[in-house]
Amino acid sequence: MKLRRLFPSSAFVLALLLLPLLGCPKAPSQSPAPPPDLDEAPSLGPGQSGSFDYYVLSLSWSPQFCQTRKFPPTDQQCGDGKRFGFVVHGLWPQYEKGYPESCPSTYQLPEATVDKVLRMMPSQKLIRHEWEKHGTCSGLSAEQYFQQVETVFAGLKIPSPYQSPTAPVVTSLAELKKSFLDANPQLAETSITAQCSGVYLREVRICLRKDLSPMPCGGFVRDSCKAPEVQLRPLR
């Protein structure tokens, strides 16, 4: 009868002794993530109403928004026969890093104000959402806040190629910005950014001081259009 080996072979023991000297493969190093754009900027939650650094006026290209999902024919913004171009998404109080939202406020949003604002923000749901999330952080009453929105929007000239296009508009980020700067000499190149979904323009954002004069945008407010060309969908 053969005896079973009770001890490991010398080759096996040698391999165990050399294992610590060989080391383990290192995991590949990862590049640091780029800073987020405004859509991903950190919300710092409810802040003190009126305590912020500057505003961002966000203009939404309505034909692109209306492509995001199927809307009923009676929808105020995207329903049948609704031919909106640039509309106001919001006027957002901002910190240099992040933003406040849903700040404590004793002011209410009157229905008369909602009706008045519909011509530049064509959705009652959007108006109420923007007041509750952003307007309450302005330190203003709802009437005063939306009066500021109206003042800014009325003082902004939409470049003629983007007023009522019936066919797709193909441009570049540089040309898009230049057209806004040419139509609005009060703006500076550093105060305007553009947001895209792929090649399609989604929003134009303009940074403003509390007195509504243009100012350079903060670090979180920057361009997200990366393709060589920018396309604007035609009005529906």
Instruction: State the average pLDDT over residues 187-201.
Output: 96
Per cent of the chain over pLDDT 90 is: 73
pLDDT value at residue 40 = 53
Instruction: State the average pLDDT over residues 110-116.
Output: 96
The label of the residue with tokens 């009066």 reads 147
Q: Which two tokens stand for residue 91?
A: 């006027």
Least confident window among 9-18, 55-64, 71-80, 224-233: 9-18
More confident residue, 6 or 183: 183
Mean pLDDT of the chain: 86
Rg (CA), the chain: 27
pLDDT value at residue 44 = 64
pLDDT value at residue 121 = 97
- The candidate with the shortest Cα–Cα distance to 188, out of 212, 209, 215, 210, is 215
Q: Domains of the chain by range and CATH?
A: 38-232 (3.90.730.10)
Residue 14 has pLDDT above 70, yes or no: no
pLDDT value at residue 36 = 44
pLDDT 10s digits, 117-173: 999 999 999 999 999 999 999 999 999 999 999 999 999 999 999 999 999 999 999
pLDDT value at residue 9 = 52
This prediction has a pTM of 0.80
pLDDT value at residue 75 = 95
- List the catalytic residues: 89, 130, 134
Instruction: State the average pLDDT over residues 181-200.
Output: 96
